[in-house]
Amino acid sequence: MRNSSQEWKGVDHVQFACSDMDRTIAFWESIGMRCQLNLVLHNPERNHFMIDIGREQVISYWYWPEKELRPAAPVADRGYAGFYHLAFHVDTEEELEDMRRRVEAAGIEISAIHGRHLFDKSIYFTDPDGIQFEFAAVMFSLEGTVEHDGNGTLIPHSAGVKMGNRTLDGPVHFETKYK
């Protein structure tokens, strides 16, 4: 349902905290993003800096020089509510493969390309404080309640399930080179 009085314009920014500002900025710059703004604030001493992720969008970080921060929760620990990762969009599998090579060339550990959900292909990596990020290429859009059996079959579970502009009236199976 849409809000009739005002349309959402998108996400303005996502806010993180880091334990080492210089290291975090160098991390993002190593894969082609840049620090757009580093705002120095006082009482208490802190920095609020923004990383340009393209298309006039930023992610932002707080850094407190006098604070020691605990690392992010391990990404494999699914026993908590909250943030798991932030995904950046790329348009094609080729762009995803190019991004994987770029991140790997920067010396950053990155996953193999995953594609078991079929409708998207993804790679995962973490920043220096253990916050997980993803690059994802959507292969086709899905709308409705759909079951994925883990072996390449999508099963519609609600009326009017859409895959792209096609209505699914029964299971559909796909093969993928990524597991």
Answer whether residue 133 is part of any domain: no
Q: What is the pLDDT of residue 148?
A: 76
Question: Any idea which of 1-10, 126-135, 146-155 has the lowest mean pLDDT?
Answer: 1-10
| Number of domains making up the chain | 2
Answer whether residue 155 is part of any domain: yes
Question: Any idea which of 9-18, 75-84, 135-144 has the lowest mean pLDDT?
Answer: 75-84
Question: Any idea which of 29-33, 44-48, 54-58 has the lowest mean pLDDT?
Answer: 54-58
Answer whether residue 77 is part of any domain: no
pLDDT band at 117 (very low <50, low <70, confident <90, very high): low
- 123, 110 Cβ separation under 8 angstroms: yes
Answer whether residue 153 is part of any domain: yes
* Mean pLDDT, residues 35-42 taken together: 94
pTM of the model: 0.79
User: CA neighbours within 13 Å on the CB side: how many for 156?
Assistant: 16
Q: Which domain holds residue 51?
A: 11-66
Answer whether residue 93 is part of any domain: no
Q: What is the pLDDT of residue 17?
A: 94
Answer whether residue 147 is part of any domain: yes
Cα–Cα distance, 35 to 122 (Å, whole number) = 25
Answer whether residue 114 is part of any domain: no
Answer whether residue 126 is part of any domain: no
Q: What is the pLDDT of residue 96?
A: 92
**Strand 57-63 relative to strand 13-17: parallel, antiparallel, unpaired?**
parallel
Cα–Cα distance, 109 to 81 (Å, whole number) = 25
- Please write the tens of the pLDDT for every residue from 7-22: 777 788 899 999 999 9
Q: What is the CATH number of the domain that holds 51?
A: 3.10.180.10
* Mean pLDDT, residues 169-173 taken together: 82
Sign of the Cα torsion 118, 123, 127, 129 reads positive
Single out the residue in 66, 88, 108 at which a domain terminates. 66
